[in-house]
Every structure is written in structure tokens, then in C-alpha cells.
Chain A
Amino acid sequence: MPEPTIVHPDGMGYIPHAAGFVANEGPKLVSGRFPYEDSYTLECALATGAYTGLRAALGRTPADVHTEVRDATLLGRGGAGFPAGVKWGFCPEDVWPRYLVVNGDESEPGTYKDRLLMERDPHQLIEGCLIACYALGLSQCFLYVRGEMALAQERLAVALNDAYEAGYVGRNICDTDFSVDITLHWGAGAYIVGEETALIESLEGNRGMPRLKPPYFPAAIGLYGRPTIVNNVETLANLPWILEHGAIAYRGYGSEASPGTRLFAVSGHVVRPGVYEVEQGVTTYRDLIYGPNFCRGIREGNELKAFIPGGASAPWFFEEQLDLSLEARDIGAAGSMLGSGAIVVMDHTTDVVKACLRIVRFFARESCGKCSPCREGTSWEEKILERILDGHGRPSDLDLLLDIGDNISPGPYPVAAHGAAGLDAVPFPPLQTTICPLGPSSVAPITSALRRFRSEFEARITRHEGIPVRSAPVVDGDPA
């Protein structure tokens, strides 16, 4: 096997050809090939064991392969964390064809891992798709890559062409009866298309708007009205390892409830931001943010003000949540979510009103407009925060913000405990009056920031200097 070309030019462990990836200590179940410079080629992939998991799968019955994945407790990496093996079981029997749609639309702010997986190791993803198709009898796979990711599109196109040529994709794969086509597809810029039913609408050639639920899973009714499995890129990228080494070995990493590893992107005010492969469940936020093996603390010795534990949609955490481990269940009980494995760290210099507005504005811009609480609510949230930031806020605005939030997501909104103020956590997930969770996500930064930093918002609202008065009457353009 060729030696990987790991280069540590700055002693930081970054790899020049895999931007942001840090080759830290620890098991590498999905990022093992990243350090090889030519990891995306079929040649390198085959020399480092690619398609071994597929061959192992093809030597067993499809039902057996499904059982192996169920036993591994492979939790979905797209955001909701639903076990893949269980979701796979939701396809109705005797309805054919069934499809696989790969969610490579990665656009949750803070999230950077699927792009790396597609650019650095396309064959691992293709192998994962094939294993899923084999296990469930899925007759065609659609690889939906985010439109903005030109390099990932190229790498996947070449990888697919090579894999077809070599007999790993297409007709009679590895000389068996297993045949499946993988169609490379890319989007055109819309965050909401990451929601699985919107993804399917988009793949059917429509505006990417989420479908009404139920059915809750497209496994029942999906693409062209047929049973469809939608899985995240990282979820599928785990399958080759699981089939090669088995569920028991997989469960040897991470915790009982969350086995295996995950790619976490840690961004913001840390010394060494990056994408790390981390054992789930057993690692804590403190390890990740301060550990020498990970981000090495807050930049310039600054103090932590807040951090977002699972992508922009997640309620914020603070100092007192640092010792929570990366365990979906515990984080949910503490008022937020593990989400898409994106941690955004804010130090004490951060203007939380500005940060809050930026995230809210994202949801306002990306709302698909299908339901009114989200369409209207998110833009009002944005307008109100904007006027507060501009110094035109009204004292009633803070309650108004919470009221709008309550119309999108009724009841107490999930939020972290604030021990010093005697406030308990409200567990995840939020309720919703909307078709999909995008609307409710816009409430997360508002309730999180207002609970902790209300005084910073109030300081913006209370004026300390006189309001300028217009000195001359408006003459030009008088409609009368």
C-alpha cells in the first residue's frame, strides 16, 4: 500500500490538499483516505481497500446486510440522527421500484464535512450507495450534490465513470446479478432543498418545497411516488467500513447509544478550527474546543461567550454545557441538538445581536414561502432585529420577537439551562406550526441569545443621545 503523503507544514496537522481536515489522533473510519494526495482516484482507492465492503456485502444475502447495518446502530448524520437500519425497514413490501437519494446538499451554516467526503473520497461514498442499494433492492441511486460544489461534482463524475468502467457500478456488478445505475445530479442553490421531501421535489424537476406530512418518511412515498430512502453523504460513507469490519467492531467505538465516529466541523474563534473525526458519545465539547488533540482553546486566550453545538438551527450552549458529551440524547435533554456536527465557537468579543441577526436573516432568506408562519415570521424577525441593531429598536421589540417565535413554534422553545439565573433547560425538539423545521429553527438564536444576553439587546434599544430631527421640510417628490 502506498504511503500517505501527510504534510504538516505548520505543525498544526492540516493537510494541504484536504482543506481544514486535521489528521489528529484517533480512529479514522471515514476519513482514513484523506491524507493520500490522490485519494479521489480509483487507483488509490483500490490500493487502500475500496470496494472490499461491497464484495463482503455481495457475499451475503441482502437481508443479512440490512441486519448488519441495523445492529451497528448507524445514526443518520444529516441532522435528525435517525438510525439508518431502522429507517431502511420502513419501505413497504412489494412496492417496486425503490430508489436511493443521497443528500449531498450540505448547506446548514457551520457544516463542512460532506463536501470533504465527496471531494476527497468519492469511491467510499459510491461504495456506500451500492451497499444500501444491494441490501434493500433499490434499483436506481441519485447522488444529489449541492450546486455550488463544482469540485465535488467533478470528482464524483470521474469516480463514477471509472467505477462503471471497472465493473463496480452498472450492470452485473462484480459479475453478480446485482445491477444498479447511479445518476449524478446537482442542485442550484437553495438551503431548503436539504430537507428530504424538498430534495425529492427538486429531483423531480420542481421548486424545492417540502411536502406535507404524513407520510413522515419518503420510504413510504418518495421519488415519483415510490418508496425512497434518503440518506446523508456521511451516513452512507460509513457503510463500507461497517460491512468490512462488522457491526461489533463498529460498536467498539463511541458509546452504547451513539456508536462509531463522526466528522465534526469546529469553526469560529478557536486556535485550530478544522474538521475532526471524533468518537461520538465519549468525547465532550470541552475536549473538542480545548483539547490539545482538537481545537486547542479559544483564540488569543479569550473567554468563551457561547457556542452553537449542532449547526445554525441548534439552540446555543454556554460555559456550563461544556462537559456534555457528543451524545444526541443528552444534548437533546439539555435543550439543543447534535444536528449536522457543526460547532461554532464565539468568544467574548462577539456581538451577539449581530450574530443573532445574521442567523435569523439566513432563515428569512431561505424560507421557501410555502407556509405563512415561516414566510412572514422569519422576515419580521429579521426586520425587528435589524432595526434594533440600527438603533431604531422599540422597548416592546424583545417581547414582540418572542411572540413571533411563539407563532412559528408554540410553547416554551428549547433552550439551555442558565444555572446562575435559576433557569432550567427546555428539552429539544421544538413544536411547530409549520410544514418543516426551517421556520422553528429561526427561533433558536433569538431565544438562546435573549435568555442570556437580554441586556445587550436592551442597550441597543435604549438611546443615549438625542434623536436627530429633520431640519428642512421634504419638497422634492411630494406626491401631492
Chain B
Amino acid sequence: MSFFTEANARTAAEVIARYPRPRSAVIPLLHLAQEQEGWVTRDAMVEIAELTGATPAEVLGTGSFYEMFRFHPVGRYVVNVCTNISCQLLGGEELLHHVEESLEVHAGGTTADGMFTVEEVECVAACTEAPCFTVNYRYFHRADPDTFDAVVDDLRAGRSPLARGAQGDDGNLPAHGTLGRLRQHIPDDRRAGVVPPEQADQEPVWLRTAPSTTSAADA
């Protein structure tokens, strides 16, 4: 029994082919596994180990270093509230407090209905837009308790809250685990060629020939 779905197995193979060494694909594949299940299961780690030439323990060793990977189920929506310095100065802690009170769950916990997991997080690079929070890594800037309540109402009603000013893509907020949904895809006829470092030990050709093709470059 394989862990990845057929489509995800194809994506995994494509991801691995983008690296000179398969081990480099451990983190991208952990993301793919989390996208499939919402969290990282044991089966996922065993399969990722096989695909990347690592041991399952090494996959867990790497994965457990990074806070985005979850090794237990979490809510469908992970709410990250920033309380770092710029947000703290403008009410980030009060916002977190409101989130905890209104969802009746402490930071780190998940609501009983499995809808929301709340986290207090470090700076998410939106400091001029403080205070801010993210839902499944989609940003809500200059937020106050009302913004948050409206987002929760939307999600509970099955509407996407991205229309409320989050930085969105197609306006739909995916379940936890899905990050960028549009993936990189390198067409075979455009690929320069990814090989292990041992097989690329020559000076690249353009260092010797350039700019003999000046006219083409000007075209």
C-alpha cells in the first residue's frame, strides 16, 4: 500500500527530479504529505524515506525541527496570531486573547469540532500591517477582534473569508496543509538538466563561449 495518491506520487517524482540529490526533497515531500492528510502520518514518513534514500527516523528527525509540520491531527483551519514586537506594540497579544476567548481554546489547542487550531506565532513578515494573523497561511492585515469574528463567521458558514482583504489567490481558502496551490512545472524540452554534483564537475559551457552569441541575445 502506498501512501501518496497516484496524482501526488507523480508530483513527488517531479519534485525529486528538481534536486541534484533526492534527500533535498524531504521537506517538500513532507509538505505534500501534509497537504494530502492535513498532518504528517507515520506511513507518510516511511514512504518519503523510501523515495529520498533516507531512513524514516531521519525524515522524522528533519521534520520535527520545523514548526509547520504536525505529527498529530489539527483543525481544518490553523489560526496563527503574531505577538512579536511590532504586533505586540499594536495589540497582538490582546488579539490573541480575543481569539482564545471566542474560540474557547488556548493557544496550541484545537476546538472541539475540529474546525480551528490556534497558535501564537513569531513574526510573519507583515510588521507594518500589525497586528496580523493568518489562517492556513493566508494573511489578514491590520486586524482587530471584529476582523477575526467575521473571518470565523465566514468559515463556519462555508464561505471563503479571503474577500475580506486577505492576500488571496483565487479567493478560496484551502484546508490546512495546502500552501501554494499552483506548482512549479518544468517542461522536459526546457529543462537545463539537473544532475548530481559529481556529474557536473566541468566549467559551464557559457563561461567559455560567451558572449559569442551577442547578436542572438540582442534579438
- Contacting pair B211 A344 (CB below 8 A): no
- Which 3 A-B pairs rank lowest in CB-CB distance, beginning with the nearest? A153-B180, A188-B66, A58-B217
Mark interface residues in A106-150 (1 if CB within 8 Å of B CB, else 0): 111111101100010000000000000010010110000011111
Say yes or no: is A387 at the interface (Cβ < 8 Å to chain B): no
Q: Report 16 cross-chain contacts, Cβ distance below 8 Å, ordered by A residue.
A: A96-B204, A109-B127, A110-B85, A112-B125, A112-B127, A134-B206, A147-B31, A152-B180, A161-B185, A167-B190, A186-B31, A189-B68, A190-B65, A267-B130, A269-B89, A312-B85
Q: Tell me the smallest distance from the CB of A224 to a CB of chain B, in Å.
A: 5
Secondary structure dominating the interface of B:
loop
Binding site for B on A (CB under 8 A): 19-20, 55, 58-62, 94, 96-97, 106-112, 114-115, 119, 134, 137, 139-140, 146-154, 156-158, 160-161, 164-165, 167, 169-171, 174-181, 183-191, 202-209, 224-226, 265-269, 273-275, 308, 312, 342, 344, 346, 350, 354-355, 358-359, 362, 365-366, 368
Say yes or no: is B146 at the interface (Cβ < 8 Å to chain A): no
- Contacting pair B90 A268 (CB below 8 A): yes
Mark interface residues in B122-164 (1 if CB within 8 Å of A CB, else 0): 1111111110001011110100000000000000000000000
Alpha-carbon separation in the docked complex, A115 to B65 (Å): 23
Say yes or no: is B179 at the interface (Cβ < 8 Å to chain A): yes
Inter-chain pairs besides A58-B214, A111-B127, A152-B180, 8 sampled, C-beta below 8 Å: A20-B128, A20-B141, A60-B211, A115-B126, A140-B20, A148-B137, A151-B180, A186-B27
- Contacting pair B62 A355 (CB below 8 A): no
Residue of A nearest to B138 (CB): A150
Say yes or no: is B169 at the interface (Cβ < 8 Å to chain A): yes
- Contacting pair A344 B127 (CB below 8 A): yes
- Contacting pair B201 A97 (CB below 8 A): yes
Secondary structure dominating the interface of A:
mixed
Residue of A nearest to B168 (CB): A151
Mark interface residues in B59-85 (1 if CB within 8 Å of A CB, else 0): 001110111110000000000100111
Residues on the B chain within 8 Å of A170, using CB: 186-187, 190-192
- Contacting pair A207 B217 (CB below 8 A): no
Alpha-carbon separation in the docked complex, A208 to B69 (Å): 14
Say yes or no: is B21 at the interface (Cβ < 8 Å to chain A): yes
Say yes or no: is B28 at the interface (Cβ < 8 Å to chain A): yes
Cβ 8 A contact of B88, one of A160, A167, A226, A355: A355
Alpha-carbon separation in the docked complex, A208 to B122 (Å): 17
Residues on the B chain within 8 Å of A169, using CB: 190
Alpha-carbon separation in the docked complex, A181 to B184 (Å): 12
